[in-house]
Amino acid sequence: MNSRIMNKIQILILISALFTISISQTSCNSTQQDIDEEKEVVNTLNKFLRAFENGDFETMEALMTNDAYIFPRAIMSNDSLGPIDNVNYRRMNGLDPQMKQVINSIRESGKQPPFMKLEPKDLKITILKEAAIVTFHLENGKSLSRRTIVLGENNDTWKIVHIHPSNVVSSEYR
């Protein structure tokens, strides 16, 4: 082969190697960024759960966007077979009044915070650019409390945009 063709082949190999190195570094960086974002999402979730355990409604609301919304939780069991007014279970802005009611009733009993221990099980986080979808469940004796929380990122801060609680009571307790 003439030297001119050899030089072109060497240049192509060099360009390919540099391109491969560049792509692998970008992949590593985005993976680290994903890990960092996931840690921030978990941090926000943990702050929210600790605030709920302590009945700190101000902190809970501060971790939510101003236009955050929630579906109030509904426990479907024999205990809830009485009349159900669907209006109470429609989407609403802010914290679920039932959340406040649970904490306030515990507080009225004289118990001091933390009022409960919330430990997410089977935590799954999906990061989608500036949004994160978090799912987990809380084991609560006879019921399985499933949660879906959507967070949004704005100015490098993750805040809760939506909460969807869903509770299922085991048939052995019905």
- Whether residue 130 is contained in a domain is answered as yes
Q: What was the pLDDT predicted at 24?
A: 47
pLDDT tens by residue, 49-88: 999 999 999 999 999 999 998 887 766 555 555 666 666 6
| 154 assigned to some structural domain | yes
- The verdict on residue 150 lying in a domain is yes
* pLDDT greater than 90 at residue 41: yes
Neighbours of 134 (CB within 10 A): 22
| Cβ neighbour number for residue 136 with a 10 Å cutoff | 19
How does residue 95 score in pLDDT terms, banded at 50, 70 and 90?
A: confident
Q: What are the φ/ψ torsions at residue 134 (nearest 5 degrees)? A: -120, 130
Does the predicted model carry a pTM greater than 0.85? no
Residue 16 located in a structural domain: no
Whole-number Å distance between alpha carbons of 68 and 13: 53
Whether residue 51 is contained in a domain is answered as: yes
pLDDT at 49: 96
- Tell me the one-letter amino acid at 62: A
Q: How far apart (Å, rounded) are the C-alpha atoms in residues 52 and 103?
A: 8
> What CATH number should be reported for the domain holding residue 161?
3.10.450.50
Q: Please give the single-letter amino acid code of residue 44.
A: T
Query: Is residue 12 assigned to a domain?
Result: no
Alpha-helical segments (H) within the chain: 3-53, 57-62, 97-108
How many domains does the structure of the chain reveal?
Answer: 1
Among residues 151, 152, 153, 149, which one has the least CA distance to residue 163? 149
> Per-residue pLDDT for 26 more than 50?
no
Count CB atoms within 10 A of the CB of residue 41.
21
Name the residue range of residue 162's domain: 38-173
DSSP string, 53-92: HTT-HHHHHHTEEEEEEEPPP-EESGGG-S---GGGGS-E
**Is 9 a member of any domain?**
no
- The 10s digit of each residue's pLDDT in 113-151 is 998 899 999 999 999 989 999 999 998 778 889 999 999
